[in-house]
Chains A and B, each alone.
Chain A
């Protein structure tokens, strides 16, 4: 009988753990929704800020996040995909591949603020891009690189070897096989990885602190050498800078909800997409 009691207690404890987790994480999301929803309106999403960030909308800030994320992807997707193709298709299985793989794993674990310092030293100062969308995009791109590489690698490995062999036996060259056979088959998996990293990059703050972000800028960024306002940084700045903390807090609620919705929507889309793919492989 004692055995039963221990088992019941143990299982209740485990249940309590997941209940606590879901409760607190749910509270955070619920809270941001409840406080942010009244702030958001069509004007909030489409107008420029007025009166020292306390009124008007946040459209240029959303645009800033869009440009930074787009820039990061333009840089990291081709490079990451090429890296994954090299590792999976071309490289001799060797010492060097192991080094590349370990480096990528470690690159994924580097704290985001360290990427920010690297961007500051290399892109802003050394290459002279200044605090700009270009510097910020490149910095975010390096951060996204390991995510893209590992997602692409996973997708490429999942393509069965027999398909490659069939293509080669028909006289196709290695590159023709990769281009016409392997990449189309791996494309959905690669896309999922790219979308997931878009969600991650859009919410990153620390890498753009010193490389791209400005708290106050008039209007939209004009070219890639401009500073930009961005949603995540804007939330931080609204809470720590400026002269009207109370009015700014309301805007910060709105920005948090916009960012949260954006990221949850993008990541949720990718996760659902991936589950579909997994079940289609299983068939």
Chain B
């Protein structure tokens, strides 16, 4: 009997330790980013790093200003949202409101399947198809531009936005719709004035997570954004988002040097941005669940 009790305790402890070790990884990531990233802040100053307008890490003396990279990320993320919000939310509305049962049974898994296409395949498509197309269309020196990256990232994020928005719409109770029909509203009025407001915060969660995916996406922007670390003037110019700078330069940055630390500092800032996005998504989605009386 004693043996059995000891065994039970042992299993409990094993699972506790293993569970906490995964917590340890998140903490580990934060520690590593701070440890390897902060030296650059001490060296050139935090504000100078964030708002510096020149990114010439390999010059002598080097310039470590990441404003062009931050703006690059911002541009492609905003551009991507312009693509993925209408397409993703629109598709979700179609699936939930218009599609018949059979159509939905087919389209929902297909959209989920599309979300699993690796980013490098999107990047490859952008490089071999969209790049020459944009170059000819706008008569540009290069087709690898912020516009290209925005289009591809937007398409990539669309299935994510669509899946989450569709889930949110399906949680809206049928009684809401029936009440609206009962007072004489048609399907469109019910959709825009009852269903969408009721599912609003759930849809927002999808949008936030889609944008978070776009801002952290690496391979596509590395391949199609063009890579010029200058402050972008229009969507038809090449940009170098933060993720692309890390991926492109880490291979050449000597370990422990300023450039190495600067790239970790960019990763730290990127981590903090996505962290904030995720926390907002969490708060919004919890509010949504409480509002519709789902389990908190």
Contact between B4 and A264, CB atoms less than 8 A apart? no
Q: Interface readout for A90-106 with B: 1 if CB under 8 Å, 0 if not? A: 11000000011011111
Interface residues of A in 167-199 (CB under 8 A from B): 173-175, 196, 199
Interface residues of A in 72-88 (CB under 8 A from B): 78-80, 82-83, 85-87
Smallest CB-CB separation from A106: which chain B residue? B278
Contact between B246 and A100, CB atoms less than 8 A apart? no
Tell whether A106 pairs with B26 under 8 Å between CB atoms, given A15-B94, A121-B264, A200-B116: yes
Contact between B19 and A114, CB atoms less than 8 A apart? no
Q: Which residues of the partner chain A approach B94 to less than 8 Å between Cβ atoms? A: 14-15, 17-18
Tell whether A272 pairs with B216 under 8 Å between CB atoms, given A90-B12, A122-B28: no
Tell whether A145 pairs with B25 under 8 Å between CB atoms, given A17-B87, A112-B216, A232-B118: yes
Interface residues of B in 1-27 (CB under 8 A from A): 4, 7-8, 11-12, 14-16, 18-23, 25-27
* A142 within 8 A of partner (CB): yes
Q: Which residues of the partner chain A approach B36 to less than 8 Å between Cβ atoms? A: 117, 121
**Given the complex of chains A and B, what is the CA–CA distance between A175 and B271 in angstroms?**
38
Smallest CB-CB separation from B36: which chain A residue? A121
Contact between B271 and A114, CB atoms less than 8 A apart? yes
Count of residues in B whose CB is under 8 Å from the partner chain: 89
Q: Which residues of the partner chain B approach A16 to less than 8 Å between Cβ atoms? A: 90
**Given the complex of chains A and B, what is the CA–CA distance between A104 and B282 in angstroms?**
12
* B139 within 8 A of partner (CB): no
Interface residues of A in 130-148 (CB under 8 A from B): 142, 145
* A162 within 8 A of partner (CB): no
* A249 within 8 A of partner (CB): yes
Contact between B121 and A28, CB atoms less than 8 A apart? yes
Smallest CB-CB separation from B5: which chain A residue? A173
**Given the complex of chains A and B, what is the CA–CA distance between A120 and B120 in angstroms?**
20
Interface residues on A, range: 35 or more
Tell whether A14 pairs with B97 under 8 Å between CB atoms, given A109-B278, A239-B223: yes
Q: Which residues of the partner chain B approach A39 to less than 8 Å between Cβ atoms? A: none
Contact between A109 and B275, CB atoms less than 8 A apart? yes
Contact between B4 and A105, CB atoms less than 8 A apart? no
Task: Give the contacting residue for A256; candidates B26, B124, B270, B274; CB below 8 A.
Answer: B124
Q: Which residues of the partner chain B approach A249 to less than 8 Å between Cβ atoms? A: 128
**Given the complex of chains A and B, what is the CA–CA distance between A267 and B257 in angstroms?**
41
